Structure 1
Amino acid sequence: MSNVPEFIDKWRVISVLGEGSFGQVYCVQDRNNKQSPFYAMKVEQKQKNRNDEVLRMELQVMQHVTGRFFCDIVHKGQTEKITFIVMTLLGKPLDEIRRAQAGRRFSNPTSMKIGMQMIRAFKKLHHAGYIHRDVKPANMAPGYHHPELLHLFDFGLSRYIFKPDGPGHLRPARSKVAFRGTYRYCSINAHMCRDQGRVDDLWGLLYSLIELCTGSLPWTGMKQVESLSIKTAITDDELFQECPRSFRKVKKKLAQFKFEDQPDYDTLLMMLYREIFSLGEQKLLKEPFEWQMRSEDMNPFNHTKRCKEE
């Protein structure tokens, strides 16, 4: 862990929330007001001969996609050595919360509720013209002040998909691109270094939901080639053995979409809703999530460093 500053600009650093190749994420508070709310500050180190492209893209997405499911920008700035964004503080990411559950997994109804919120989040993101390209439970988290609401975050690998002449005019697919994402959760299309579209984000969401409700994926811990081989060959019976039935329907629907297609978000949502209603569990839609019962899942001062890939 690098040295932690006491202050950055007008912000007092309270604790470290995470650290990666890009820089650090801190919990901060207004240095002149100890009664002010806590926020998250994302910091990127300035380097010679390199554009600050990760934080720049993050800022661009956050400025264009606001409201429910997304963090608000509170402040942005730079010093001689760093660029930073101050934003809404979140609770622990879903991968950490899952590991703290009994059996290291969420219940099927909870996994479906997570899916419902995230489908809405991706609909909003995609309609604004962006794709995420690194969808995983580590990039989804409940709000610290509003734990009933999930947030999608970390847009450093995102891409704007429309032509400059306006929304709705999709940029054509590139024939070969560098890999973007995380092998465990990415689509087969992304594995093969093909240009990603909106549907690839939803494949990442589906694989994330499977892990959240089963505790692991069949290819967890494997290298890229082995992971791709299993994703390609695995049967639905093997993949969805302990999952809600609706997840199979979601997979079948996603397989119908091509790069240029706008996914049918509302149909995907209804697949999850129908299963909950068919089980007579609609009351669960209004019940709190597991993490709302556990203060340690929301406390930024109890926030651990990101776990390594299992």
Structure 2
Amino acid sequence: MVMTLLGENLKSLKKNGKWVARKARGSAEFRGTLRYCSPNVHEKKEQGRRDDLWSLFYVLIELHCGLPWQTVRDKNKVETMKMNISDKHLVQNFPRELLLLLEIMHLNKRINKQRINNMFYDGLVALMKRLGTKPSDPYDWETKEQVEKVLKFAKPAAWEDAAQFFQSDPINIHAPPLPLAPQVKVII
């Protein structure tokens, strides 16, 4: 599974040739999807990495066992539910391998993207091991015939074995830079 977080909070500006984070606004208007937005969005606070994680977490909870507010359409009711729900109730049927992410989202420290990526990946790997599944397993809604048809023509993806893929260095990231080709001057 490859996931990329994109959102309002990842916007950056280029200043003097460098990427710099935008300064936080005093108040931010509601943006996003009511069902998945973080509590900060309801409170009109500036969004950050933590808010992307809340959104991802809400999506994963809904896919796994459903959100308590998934049938509620009233913005104020959803906000009240999000603000008052206990972690224990929110994640009561959620896989334990991913619960450490919830603890980090409550910390008042800056979130390290690489640490979160590693924790999320490690949690998914641990969950797949416990369940005896692998990334190439069919989805619940796929029929055996559909899977066989796809597998007949598909080559295994290089990234399915992430450790081997990154050790193989397919684009020479770990190699020394190549010398530049000699420049040829053309005089007319």
TM (norm. structure 1) is 0.41
Structure 2: gaps of 5 or more residues: 147-188
TM-score, normalised via structure 2 length: 0.63
Cα distance between partner residues in 2 of 1:265 and 1:162: 23
Contact 1:199–1:257, Cα closer than 8 Å, also in 2: no
* Shift of residue 168, structure 1, vs aligned partner: 4.8
- Could you say what secondary structure the match of 1:169 adopts? strand
Corresponding residue to 1:255 among 99, 106, 109: 106
**Cα drift, residue 232 of structure 1:** 1.8
Offset of residue 292 of structure 1: 4.0
CA distance in 1, matches of 2:68, 2:131: 30
1:118-267 superposed matches below 5 A? 118=3, 121-122=4-5, 131-133=6-8, 160-166=11-17, 168-214=19-65, 216-220=66-70, 221-256=72-107, 261-263=111-113, 264-267=116-119
Cα distance, 1:212 vs structure 2: 0.7
Ranked by relative contact order (alpha carbons within 8 Å, sequence separation 6 or more), the top structure is: 1
Q: Pick one of 287, 300, 307 that aligns with 2:137.
A: 287
Number of positions where the alignment pairs a residue of Structure 1 with one of Structure 2: 142
| Distance change >3 Å, CA 208–CA 257, structure 1 → 2 | farther
Identity across the alignment (%): 31
CA distance in 1, matches of 2:13, 2:108: 18
> Which residue does the alignment assign to 1:274?
126
CA contact (8 A) 1:163 1:171 kept: no
C-alpha contact 2:61 2:91 (8 A) present in aligned 1 = yes
Confirm or deny: 8 A CA contact 1:199 1:261 kept in the other structure: yes
Counterpart secondary structure, 2:122: helix
Task: Describe the superposition over 1:239-291 as per-residue Cα deviations: whole angstroms up to 9, x where unpaired.
Answer: 11222112322211222365x644322122212222332x152x433312234
Give the structure with the larger helix fraction: 2
Over alpha carbons, which structure has the higher Rg? 2
